[in-house]
Structure 1
Amino acid sequence: MGHRNGPETAAGALAQASVTVACDRRWAGDVYSSIRYSAVLLALLLLIDWGSGSFTPWRGALWFVPAVLLFLVLFPQRVRVGEGWLESRSLLRERRVRTDLLVSVRCLDGVSQRLVLRDAFGGRVEIDPQVLVNNPDLWYRLEEDTQKSAALGSLLCGATALRRLAQRIDRENALTVFKVSGLE
């Protein structure tokens, strides 16, 4: 019988889907860093309060609040890219955009750079461009899909931003290769 609907088919489809999805490799380390910085802040606040002789359990609970707020501020977005989509997850929300049907790509400069992607269905995702610099596989997948968007004619603005980002990623990758090979 040529038709199969068993667990082997589902497992094969899942394995195939996981192969085409690229994730931010540094995300777990960034989460660990945000936990570590928050714990250090809490420890310092408690130590200072204890050293001054004014520590109480209520004050200890009060010092827990800034540590939690620091964790929330530092918690990184988890960026994943698959064929035709890009997803960004934070603690409270998940946003997804169709990268094969992008309408615009903008790079916002300021205190922290942001790359804003918009698709034809109104989806909008903001990510840190450094995530793409640190993960060439994410960039490769995104670049392939933006080229599809441009070929379809849906990408109306953003060619300049993508070109600048591509140059930045190429420069960073070349510097990494030179450092690894000892040709600095």
Structure 2
Amino acid sequence: MGRPYDAAAQDRQWARDLRGTFRCAGALLGLLLVADHFGGRLTLWRGALWLALAVLLFVVLYPARVRAGEGWLSSRGLLRERRVRTDRLVSVRCLDGVSQRLLLRDEFGDRVEIDPDVLVNNPDLWHRLAEDSRRSLASGTLTCGATVLRRIAERVERETAETVFRVSGLE
């Protein structure tokens, strides 16, 4: 299937997002415990309830770890990893809602949902996906999603150009 798993492109901001998740859960726990303590209502059971609530927030906010190699893309959450063959894509759809998601499906029935911002913020991940999706398009397996991929490509190029201008002082 291509390069080894260790040589994969990955989300460079994942560790920062994970630290943010820890901070949010910790801040909620701290605020609830302090409020209960000063209110005189802190008990062992209430403390356990606040801890459970902070753990639940952590689980909800836990960022998926996205990686891509030659011919594959994976998204690992807390409990499981989903993997899709990007050189055998059948469809790429953009799901709108509270947060925009990108749904990739391959011809083997596997699917991965990722945040499109991960691709925009990590050009190496985008490059890997774009290269493999072109293979899917050329082989005829990718029947739905060329427009979505083109929009993401335009967004990646725009963000990259803006970053280059900002870094070089040409804003």
- TM-score range relative to shorter protein: over 0.9
1:173 maps onto 2:157 in alignment: no
By relative contact order (CA 8 Å, sep 6+), the higher-ranking structure is 2
1:38 maps onto 2:22 in alignment: no
Give the Cα separation in 1 of the matches to 2:146 and 2:7. 25
1:104 maps onto 2:91 in alignment: yes
Task: Look up the SS of the partner of 1:125 in the other structure.
Answer: strand
Runs of 4+ in structure 1 deviating by more than 2 angstroms, as ranges, are: 16-20
Give the Cα separation in 2 of the matches to 1:95 and 1:84. 14
Aligned residues: 169
Alignment of 1:1-184 (within 5 A): 17=4, 20-184=7-171
Give the Cα separation in 2 of the matches to 1:160 and 1:62. 47
Give the Cα separation in 1 of the matches to 2:84 and 2:147. 20
Q: Which has the larger radius of gyration?
A: 1
Residues 77, 89 of structure 1: 8 Å contact kept = yes
Give the Cα separation in 1 of the matches to 2:48 and 2:96. 38
Per the TM alignment, residue 123 of structure 1 is displaced from its structure 2 partner at its CA by 0.7
Q: Counterpart of 1:7? A: none
Deviation digits for residues 19-54 of structure 1 (CA, Å, limit 9, x no counterpart): 741011111111111011100000000000001011
Instruction: Give the aligned residue type for 2:108.
Output: F
Q: TM-score, normalised by structure 1?
A: 0.89
Backbone CA RMSD of aligned residues = 1.1
Give the Cα separation in 2 of the matches to 1:18 and 1:66. 35
Q: TM-score, normalised by structure 2?
A: 0.96
